[in-house]
Structure 1
């Protein structure tokens, strides 16, 4: 627990002052949204998530009983991007991510996950398992003729060998999609649990499916905030009805202890469409759940 009231906490993530990434979970913002296909605005997501994270520092996590001061957290600020240039921005993001042993990235659009996975795969030397929470598959080969964008990220991640599709599981899928994209994704070996299946089976059953899919090898968590229903996360660029409740996502994450996560991102928070900061708070809370899930000990 901090000595200051929540409104007086420093504007870094959870008020931390550390910047050195060695031996720490390192939070970094990636304010990029030029690859979006609907509403832009997630460039402002990192700032909003940091501000909302102040709500999480006035006590211990109610499951792990860890306090923020118990966990080595650094805030590296925001990554540099190339204004208006998506390929160059991806190159810059990959370069900056490569220098951070255990990165937790705050977006920004979902396209940022591609350079993050490139950097992580280079460090680990083998394809990663992937837990992907989203309304959208993001496995299209292009977005309206553009080969890069927030709807193509996992097509490239699979075809570049950054992730092992047989160890990739997508949770909360429900958006309209081209049938050929759906069929291609399943043909690669990806496991898909749509939102209705999450509602029907419950968090415990979903967590077991995730564990079975990811196994014991290194894996990554990518959480698009539109995986949540817009009732719980309206502040996003491409909202889709019928999604997960915040409590469902939280309950699933709390049952994934022991998996070998090497990093995570939370993306597509667009505060201009938010109400009362509930979307930003949901994103900040999912990061806090990740720290707690990892037992407060980052894996490089």
Structure 2
């Protein structure tokens, strides 16, 4: 089918608000038009929607460089480069299988930081109460904590599949809005089951941290293994439990993803991270977030592009779990 014919999904151009169908891909120039994530329709009508993509432009919990409030905007902009058809190496368009909308951003009063956790939890609850899954664009990593609260209310204690340079279980006296402490809260509050959870790419340690029973796959272990072996560890630990995927972009090496607040050398390549995600087809995921993209520190949008592409890997995985199959390239 020609690009011109594919472009007739409704009317040509600006599919973010003019497309007629939730499924399928409407081709547009990558350099122009209204920006949404992957040119999906902006909508808060979740009837018939499988997955809602939403942004959380919050960076008031950072411990080093700010800027992740620009993350949702940067990821949406970078995603336009891939919003034209089948995604390699899956060789299918996940939007032929999944009805996905861009739900817009979570609105909060930046002058009332103390109200933010409850505001985001309510935003998430509104979405998932309809049976719609969430993919969330951060924002700093603290946002995962209110999101876990909302999801645990619906699904019970979750397995956390956590890609990061940091474990985010630093000890404190409780109640902090901090992107380095919140997973210890999530364990103590029963939001996640640490013995069925995995942290991948870790290459930092803080005095007073506990393992809490997490299976920790340090970055060096990833480098010394192949993607299939790492994926097998994750699948074995998670088992059949419902799982939440959180991906801190600083899991990737700064040479791959410089646009982040706390870059740590020695991280994963995009290929390593994506190859692991591609092999997690047996994991029962209920949601994903991708956090800590800071466009002010990016170069040529490579961090935002990596983030958008990792989200696409997840969407392709979810489509494959629903039966989507790739095509063979003819001789």
TM-score bucket (shorter structure) = over 0.9
Q: CA deviation at 1:79?
A: 0.2
Partner residue in 1 for 2:328: none
1:283 aligns with 2:307: yes
Shift of 1:6: 1.5
Once the two structures are TM-superposed, the CA of residue 202 in structure 1 deviates from its matched residue by 1.8
Q: CA RMSD, aligned part only?
A: 1.7
1:58 corresponds to which residue?
Answer: 84
- Show the 5 A alignment for 1:190-269: 190-269=214-293
Please, which moves more after superposition, 169-178 or 20-29? 20-29
The correspondence of residues 24-63 of structure 1 with structure 2, limited to 5 A, is 24-63=50-89
Measure how far apart 1:296 and its partner are: 6.1
User: Whose RCO is larger (CA < 8 A, sep 6+)?
Assistant: 1
Q: How far apart, in 2, do the equivalents of 1:234 and 1:84 lie?
A: 29
Which residue is equivalent to 2:149?
A: 118
The CA distance in 2 between the partners of 1:95 and 1:141, in whole Å, is 27
Contact 1:226 1:236 in 2 (8 A): yes
CA contact (8 A) 1:34 1:84 kept: no
- Note the residue ranges of structure 1 that are not aligned, 5 or more in a row: none
SS at match of 1:26: strand
Question: In the alignment, which residue of structure 1 is the partner of 2:158?
Answer: 128
How does 1:57-76 map onto structure 2 within 5 Å?
Answer: 57-70=83-96, 71-76=98-103
CA shift, 1:148, in A, is 2.3
- Relative to 1, partners in 2 of residues 1:199 and 1:236: Cα closer, same or farther, differing over 3 Å? same
Q: How far apart are the structure 1 equivalents of 2:310 and 2:36?
A: 16
Structure index of larger Rg: 2
Instruction: Give the superposition deviation at 1:146.
Output: 6.9
Paired residue secondary structure (1:58): coil
Give the TM-score of the pair, scaled to structure 2. 0.84
CA-CA distance at 1:67 after TM superposition: 1.4
- Runs in 1 of length 4+ with deviation above 4 angstroms? none
Matched, 1:174 2:203: yes
Equivalent residues, number: 291
Specify the SS of the correspondent of 1:248: helix
Once the two structures are TM-superposed, the CA of residue 72 in structure 1 deviates from its matched residue by 1.1
Q: Deviations for 1:231-277, whole angstroms, at most 9, x for unmatched residues?
A: 00000000000000010000000000131100010000000000000
- Looking at structure 1, the residues matched to 46 and 170 of structure 2 have their Cα atoms a distance apart, in angstroms, of 34
2:244 aligns to what SS in structure 1?
Answer: strand
